[in-house]
Structure 1
Amino acid sequence: MASATLSLLLLTLNIQLLLLLSPQTKAQTPSAPAPSPAGPVNLTGILDKNGQYTTFIRLLNETQQDTQIESQLNSSTEGMTVFAPTDNAFNNLKTGALNNLSPQQKVELVQYHVTPKYYSLSDLTTVSNPVPTQASDSDGVWGLNFSSKANQVNVSTGIVTTQINNPLRQQFPLAVYQLDVVLLPEELFGAKAPGSAPSPAKTPSSSSSTKTNSTAAASPTSAKAGAGGRNAVGWGLALALGLFCMGALS
């Protein structure tokens, strides 16, 4: 009797185990929710969250580069890197530096702060200079130069050099780095090359030439005048001599 009861108990336990392990039971087990897909990258949202990029955000909006960057991020496989100057960086510019720029020059200034490729800080220590920016063309101008020492990365334009500080975002496809200085491209703010507008080459002094030519031109006239004077004197003497002889004969 005890043996039959034990067998019945074991059978019941086995049935319960089978039910727990059945596919239907597994299907009823709640699973962890799948991660939702990441939304589009919002550059101005990243900047606005940090609260000290009002001027840069205004320039992005004014030049419509915020829309251009976000559109390019959605279609690019290279990613992008943005170097964002703080409000203090813009405040330290010379008075009127921004207001004196044309709309096209403002576009170029904003584009100069963006590279069409994603760079982590470690990437920037090994790049080949100059690094093209959104403002670069086929001639390779409007580039940035990077250097590193220890753990510090610097960026130079040829006019200003500054450290790359706090990374606001460092995740592909977009890296955003804080700058305490506005990157001033030589193409907009640099002194003109010495030979860019050469003054006309000096020719031999016009006054000297005039004097020389005048002298040369006057010389034949003087010679003729002298010869004419001598001839007139000779004819006068001959005429006087002839008259004298005629008087003597008479």
Structure 2
Amino acid sequence: MGAHSLLFTVFFSVLLSSFTSNAHNITAILAAFPEYSVYNSYLSQTKLADEINSRQTLTCLVLSNGAMSALAAKHPLSVIKSALELLTLLDYYDAQKLHDISDGTTLSTTLYQTTGKADGNLGFVNITDLKGGKVGFGSAAPGSKLDSSYTKSVKQIPYNISVLEISAPIIAPGLLTAPAPSISDVNITGLLEKAGCKTFAALIVSSGVLKIYQSAVDKGLTVFAPSDEAFKAAGVPDLSKLTSAEVVTLLQYHAVASYTPIGSLKTSSAPISTLASNGAGKYSLKVTSAGDSVSLHTGVDSSRISGTVIDDTPLCIFTVDSILLPVELFGLPPSPAPAPVPVSSPSPTPAASPAPTPVVAAPSPEPLSPPAPPMSSPRGSPSDGPGPATSSDSTSTPSAAVDLKAPVILSAAFFFSLALVLSI
């Protein structure tokens, strides 16, 4: 293997490993450990698995089936989700790092802190290296105790994800006593208006689509609400020209009949169906993400998710920066005009740019007879000047090949004639 090939192979291997080292699937990791099956199940039910898989560096503090069952039996799904978010640290910790904590204690940010539901430092976890080799975990809220401790290491993919078992849930003040939200009491239009989506809120009320949203929310609903500025943007179609049925379809296209938080959207690879979908691939959305940015593609245009109005199982409402225009209603975008073809200049006339002149054969020698008297030179000799092929009277210019070959041909003819005469 050459040096260049070896260098390319090494580079490709390093590049490939950099991609694969950042990929993880928490449910697949925990599937190999049946003692955490209850915890794993709730990661899927709450969609936290998608959020965990979409992040690059974190630590999951898992609970055994016994500890997790005790937590789940007493609290609704929304509270369980918050408790699991508090067990997901946005930093990498393994056994060695836990025992090497600077000053013996540190605060770590959790997923719960990113939801906006944690007041003050309720979304932080206190990690303290205790005497005797133990490590304690607790809420960072003042007066909180270290009610949980490190049990063992489960799985690490340095420095991407670490799974550690702890003895009990981490309890933040007020976390487990929060009342379960009543989805039927959620004021969807009020939330939309407060988020700057008054036009969209008015449309779903006047069209009757609000009732469709409300009937779907119990089983899970995600809404993509265009901002008021989106309806004023240049190039927005005149929605007043749509029929009532088409307006209903357009508004249904802005919702998905499932609880789909941002983490689930980031990990979505297949097109997602909307409330307007009436067949395979009809009125669907394609999702792409780059870092924390998530965009929705309709086939006509694309729109970026610009904010979260509410994320509370089983309801998600996001704001988007443009109206989602389904290709089934608005057709494909116009193809770009072809680039102008450059106009070539007229071809030059033969006089200005002559075609290659055919090779002119040398004149045939005189009939085989004795040469003329010495006073006259043989035709084609230097004394006669250049032959017909190079005559200044010719209207065409011979090529260099003719100029080189003609004297050779003439000389050959002369010597052939001379040899014939001498042989006679």
TM-score, L = length of structure 1:
0.58
Shift of 1:116: 0.5
Amino acid of the residue matched to residue 192 of structure 2? Answer: L
CA contact (8 A) 2:299 2:332 kept: no
- Report whether the alignment pairs 1:84 with 2:225: yes
Aligned match of 2:35: none
Amino acid of the residue matched to residue 90 of structure 1? Answer: F
For structure 1, which runs of at least 5 residues remain unmatched after alignment?
1-31, 194-250
CA contact (8 A) 1:136 1:142 kept: yes
Structure 1 stretches of 4+ with a deviation exceeding 6 A read none
Shift of 1:189: 0.8
Q: 1 or 2, which has the higher helix percentage?
A: 1
> How far apart are the structure 1 equivalents of 2:236 and 2:323?
14
Shift of 1:191: 3.9
CA contact (8 A) 1:42 1:70 kept: no
- Report whether the alignment pairs 1:127 with 2:127: no
- Report whether the alignment pairs 1:38 with 2:181: yes
1:4-153 map, 5 Å: 36-39=179-182, 40=184, 41-50=186-195, 52-74=196-218, 76=219, 79-92=220-233, 94=235, 97-153=238-294
Shift of 1:36: 4.9
Evaluate the alpha carbon distance shift between residue 127 and residue 45 of structure 1 in structure 2; reply closer, same or farther with a 3 A threshold.
Answer: same
Deviations 1:189-224 (A, max 9, x none): 11499xxxxxxxxxxxxxxxxxxxxxxxxxxxxxxx
CA contact (8 A) 1:114 1:133 kept: yes
Deviations 1:156-197 (A, max 9, x none): 11111121111111121111111110001101111499xxxx
For structure 2, which runs of at least 5 residues remain unmatched after alignment?
1-173, 335-424
Amino acid of the residue matched to residue 260 of structure 2? Answer: Y
> How far apart are the structure 1 equivalents of 2:294 and 2:236?
29
Evaluate the alpha carbon distance shift between residue 99 and residue 72 of structure 1 in structure 2; reply closer, same or farther with a 3 A threshold.
Answer: same
Evaluate the alpha carbon distance shift between residue 95 and residue 142 of structure 1 in structure 2; reply closer, same or farther with a 3 A threshold.
Answer: closer
Cα-Cα RMSD: 2.4
CA contact (8 A) 1:85 1:180 kept: yes
> How far apart are the structure 1 equivalents of 2:251 and 2:204?
7
Q: 1 or 2, which has the higher strand percentage?
A: 2
Aligned residue for 1:183, secondary structure, equals coil
Evaluate the alpha carbon distance shift between residue 137 and residue 175 of structure 1 in structure 2; reply closer, same or farther with a 3 A threshold.
Answer: same
- Report whether the alignment pairs 1:180 with 2:321: yes
1:143-222 map, 5 Å: 143-191=284-332
Aligned residue for 1:138, secondary structure, equals coil
Deviations 1:23-72 (A, max 9, x none): xxxxxxxxx9x76553322211211222x212101110122111221122
- Is the deviation greater in 128-137 or in 97-106? 128-137
Instruction: Count the aligned residue pairs.
Output: 158
> How far apart are the structure 2 equivalents of 1:171 and 1:35?
13
Q: RCO (CA 8 Å, sep 6+): is it higher in 1 or 2?
A: 1
**Larger Rg over CA atoms:** 1
> How far apart are the structure 2 equivalents of 1:184 and 1:95?
9
Amino acid of the residue matched to residue 140 of structure 1? Answer: G
> How far apart are the structure 2 equivalents of 1:191 and 1:86?
24
Aligned residue for 1:128, secondary structure, equals coil
Shift of 1:93: 5.3
